[in-house]
Structures are given as C-alpha cells and as structure tokens.
Structure 1
Amino acid sequence: MSGSDVTREGVQGARPGRDAPVGAFAGRRGRRRGRGEQPMVPEARFSSYYGRPVLNKPTWKALDIAGYLYLGGLAGASSLLAAGGHATGRPGLARAAKLGAAGAITLSLGALVHDLGRPARFVNMLRVFKPTSPMSMGSWLLAGYAPLTMAAAAADVTGRCRLVGAAATGGAAVLGPAVATYTAVLLADTAVPSWHEGYRELPFVFAGSAAGAAAGLALLCAPTAQTGPARRMAVLGVVLETGAFQLMKRRMGLAAEPFERGLPQRLLRAAELLTVGGAALAARAGRRRGRGLAAAGGAALLAGSAALRFGVFHAGVASAEDPKYTVVPQRERLRARDG
C-alpha cells in the first residue's frame, strides 16, 4: 500500500483524514479548503424493501368515507337534540332533528355501501358479533339505530302511533352518542399513525363536531324561538371539539405533523373558523331572535363539521404514505422502554 501498510501489529503509517476521506466530498481535497466542516452523514430517509411503503395507505374513497363519518355524527347528535325537543315541548325543533337524523343516517349508510361496492358486503358484517372489533360493533349499532330514527320520523310526520314514536325517539337518543363517536374508535383502531396516535382524544373531537353539526341543522330548519337547546349545544360542541383537538395534537408528537401541512391544514383551519364563527352567530341570533343570523350560523356549523372530518381523513392518508410517521415513533417507544 502506498501510504500505510497492514501488519500483525495493526496499520502502520496511516494518515487519518488523508488516505480515506469520507462523505460526499471524498476525493476533492482541494475544494474543501476554506469551506469549513462539511456534513458527513446524509439526511435520514425511511424506506422498506424494494421501495415498498411501510404501510399500505387507506384505499377508501374520500367522499364516501369522510362523508360517512360526517353524516353519522350528524345523525347521532340530532337524535339527542330530537329527544330534548320532544321532552321540553318544542315540536318544531324535535321534528327538524328527527328528520335530520333519519336522513343523515340513510345517506351515511348509502356512502358506506357505495364504498364497499355492494349491499351484500354490509349484510355479511352482521354474520359475526365480535365485541372486540369496532367494525363488527359499529355494523350492529347502525343496524339497530337506523330503524329507530325512521320510526321516530315517520310517527312525527304522520301523527300516528305516538307512543311507538316516542319510544323510538328515546331509543335513538340512547344509541346516538355511540353512533356519533364509534367512527373515531374505528379510525384509531387502524395502524394509520395520525389516526392511531390520537385514540385518546379523537372520540371527543368527533363528539364535539357532531354536536356542532346537529345544532347547525336545527338552527337552519327549526323555528328560531325553539332553538335554545340547539344554540347551547353549538357552544358546548365547539368548545369540546377545539379543546380536544388541540390537546390531541400536543400529545401525538410527530404524528400530528400531517394535520399542519397541505390540504389537511387548509381544511382544519377552515373548520376552526367556521365552527367558532357559527357558534358566535348562533348565540347572537338567540338574543336578537334573528332568523338570518340563525341560518348563517347553522350553515357555518354544518360546513365546519364537514371540513373537520375531511381534514382528519386526508391527514391520516398522508401519514400512511410517509414512512417516518411509522418508524420514528416506534424507535422512540423502544428507547423509552429500554432506558
């Protein structure tokens, strides 16, 4: 060897830093003079065998599944509002909420079946009852909830079978909170990082979003004089949604990044502005009994709830596409466990 020799005693005559330069600038000693220290370690890149992704991103259609999430939340919270209107002698509010719940759950099931491809696949889910599976429990929940909303709405519109209608209204209200939030459990049960890491707070985020949407529908459709419960639900829903979402992002660490980039960031920013603005308009409409303010606030609340569901959906897809959101948290958990 021309600069150093390998002997039994080791390397003789080695000149570190001259014989074996490393890094991207190896072999170009003249160019390195006067430029200071050059980075020797390339930026970390996360990949898997043959360039395949670490996770397969969700293949669900955004319009179908994000719409299913949104409409299910709207239906579940509307059933609670319908029971409240029925119990407090607000027939206009109760009717708007009952019809809203029945229509929303019908459209939600339609979106789910459209994504599945054919109705038989939904029916096949009912062949198994598995308490540890959010998908199995959600299918049975929808199968029991949807007929109750239909019966409650039909009895209210026709004026017949009032006792049956009242029982159906109460039954739908009992199942309503689960319908509004089980989709958050369903998302968090997947391996998608930005969904799974938010498993603690995501049900509360969806509950607040559902309450805002149901209140918005009532403000649009019910007589303004009867919308007191809807206005209060709007304010509580916005507080719960925004507070739980901010807490979720702080606890998620790196997995919260997709919520703050690109399309998800724009959707979630719009959701925040619409829900807060809608709740403020709803509160002012209550004081002045302004129909225009109530309608504007209701529309803003409905749009804000939809934007949140679509933002959460797209953030999850983005986190599944980038391997770092899977690899880095796993390494951090291993280091925390070992040390």
Structure 2
Amino acid sequence: MPMPIDRSVRQDESAPAWSRRHLLRTAGAMGAAALGGPLLAACSDNSGDSKGSSSTDHVRVALGWLKDVEFAGFFVADSAGYYADEKLSIQFQAGGPNTPDTTAVLATGQADIGVHANMQVLLQATAKGNDFVMVGSGYQTNPGGLISLASNPVRSAKDLVGAKVLGQQGAKPQLNAVFELAGLKPDYEFIPVGFDIDPLVEKQGKVFTGYMTTQPITLESKYKMKQGKDFLTLTYESFGMPAYATLVYCKRSFLQQRKDVMERFMRATIRGWQDNAKDPERAARLVVEKYGADLGLDLKQQIRSNEIGIPFMESALTRKKGLFRMDVERLAGPMYKGLRAAGVKDLPDAHKVVDTSVLDAVYRGSNRV
C-alpha cells in the first residue's frame, strides 16, 4: 500500500528536528521569521470578553501539517458539533511543505491558535522573542525513533556502534544525542534516504530513522511483517530523549485577553479526542472523505495510523488528570536534557512557556470532560 504523502524534504542539519514536519518550511518561513529573531506582534481578530455572550467566536487554527489523521480529534470535535456547543466557529488552516510554519502564521496575526508537532521548533521560536504559550500536548511521547529488522535488531545504543543508519537529512543530531546520552562516541555511517522504508527491507542499512505511526504500516501492509516478530521499533524516548508533540499553543496576549475562548476550544477539542480513542475508524473516514478529501489519502492507512497514534497520547499524567496535560518539570528536565544533547542551545524557561491553568479549568478536578 503506498504511503499517502511523500514528506522526504531536505532539512538543515544544524537545526536538529524531532518531527517530519520540520522540513522545507524551516528554511523558508521559519528561517526568515521564527528562527531569525522576534516576529511582528499582531492581535487576534477577537477582542474583549465574550464569556456569557450568546454570540459565536470565530477562531482560526493553524495546523502543523496537511489535514490528515494526525489531527483526527480536532475534526471529530468539529463534525460532532462540540465547538458549536462552546459557541465557537473554527477555521482550520492546513500546513504543508510549501506553507509557513505555524509559529510564523501566529506571530503575523494570521491565526489565533497553533497546533505544532515539533516541540523543538516551537521552543526555539519562543526563545528568539516570540511570546508563545503552550496549553496542552496531544502526543505525550513523540512517535519519532528507530526501526530495525528482527534479523539484525537495534535494542540499545550499543547496537548502533559501527552501524549503517538510513536516515532523513536532519536526523544526525538525534543520532549523535543517542550516543552521547549512552556515554558512547558517535560511530556510525549515515546513509541519506527519504521516508520510504524499502531500503531497510533491502538491507541497505541496519536501522531506519522514521515514525512509529508511518513506516511500520508499510512493513505490515506491503511486506506482511509483524512488529516484534519481523521488525522492532524504538522511540527516541527509549534512548533518553522524550519530547511532546501535537502541541496546542497561542500568543500570550491572546491567552490573557481571550482565555475563555482557549478554555472552550480545549474543552471541545478534548471531547473530540476522547471520541477518537473509542472509534479511530470514524475519524479516519472523516479525514479521507471530508477534511482531507482533496489529498487522495488511503483509508486503511489512515485508520491504522490513527490506531497506532492513540497510545502515544497516553501517559501516567493523562490517565490521572486527562488528555493533553503537560508536566512542566518533565519538560524542563529530561526533555530539555535530550534537546541539549542534540545540540539545541537556546531554550526558554519551561515554567514560563507552559500554562496549566487552562486545562485545570477545563477538567475541574476530573480526568474527562
């Protein structure tokens, strides 16, 4: 079964990336805007406090990629009328390889709320002078990592010593960090490839840098392989580099002026993701037939990707306090340690870039809405 979208676009190795979405856009919009210094501040279209008002607030949401199943819960919430229940009218703005990064979109006032897959890029944009605030993270574990065949497995950093690594441009910082965190000197041969996992099956290398929600599906469907038996997967978190992904954020000024809007948005969004966990096929059909109908997406692939992605949204914290919760100490501790090992130097104060009060208001002591 063919992959739905070819995302193999060159990255700048000087800016290590934690997600496939840090691609052409980084050299374009991000280079000129979010990574190049403070961006122009712009106010949201909304002003004043509408809490208790009968009017509907229009909210522009910049998505970090194309309208595929990685945004399933947002689309379920929209289709089910959860945003309408909160008196919100949502305009989803799709991203992609030829569109500006969401940080640039928000900073220039073209959107109110952003959904960013790449924690590193968002943090660096904030450190460069953009006053962004994260209110929640869908993925508690970034699905990026390493894939190997069971016939020549990679189970630890030691298994990478002297190995041929099939990876996308920009993957070297993470690989070097794997060695550093294991107390090893980087010793591997890097072979540039795209996101097509065929080279691994053809044994051109020992391991492939990919995404647990993407390449394993090809191994299952095209090659009839089974995870654990025929191939192994390890996230970067397995090597001591945890990272959040699918981060919901906004400008601090928007949160201060329109906190009620953000609370309503997150309440509806979480309801959508809770529904998605119960019926991943429903959301996949919504994506293929409605929200991403012009993308030519494969339904079976989208269903399977959604099924695989759901466990990445779970953690001890979310089971106790609800989806999208963030642990500031985990961000400031092991996550920042992993980023620094990958060569990231400028990072903002973790306690200042995360606001937990929005989800506190949404959940009100429960773990569901």
TM-score class, shorter = under 0.3
Q: Which has the higher contact order (CA 8 A, sep 6+)?
A: 2
Structure 1 or 2: larger helix share? 1
Structure 1 or 2: larger strand share? 2
Q: Structure 1 length as normaliser, TM-score? A: 0.23
Q: Structure 2 length as normaliser, TM-score? A: 0.22
Structure label with greater radius of gyration? 1
